[in-house]
Amino acid sequence: MKTGNKKNDKKDQNGFGKDRRRKHHHYLVTIAYADGEKFGRVYTDKDKADRFAERQRRSPVVKSARVSQVS
């Protein structure tokens, strides 16, 4: 006999399923500079990650800035 709520059995709307530990994703912003250096920063908010990447792209020494979801 199964004892549980139907509400708890279905997947959560945020995409993490029944995992109650994490409630957010992580976004890695990778900046490549013209001199070959690379820099990375992790954000939990996609909007902040996008704004940071866009701000870095305006710099003349930045070759590329990309945002990727890591978890």
What is the tens place of the pLDDT at every residue in 1-58? 666 565 555 555 666 677 777 788 999 999 999 999 999 999 999 999 999 999 999 9
Number of domains within the chain: 1
SS3 of 37, please?
coil
CA distances from 22 to 10, 11, 13, 55 (A): 17, 14, 13, 28
Quick check: is 9 in a domain?
no
Domain that holds residue 41: 24-71
Quick check: is 30 in a domain?
yes
Identify the pLDDT of residue 42. 97
Q: Are 31 and 39 in contact (CB under 8 A)?
A: yes
Quick check: is 59 in a domain?
yes
Q: Are 14 and 44 in contact (CB under 8 A)?
A: no
Identify the pLDDT of residue 10. 53
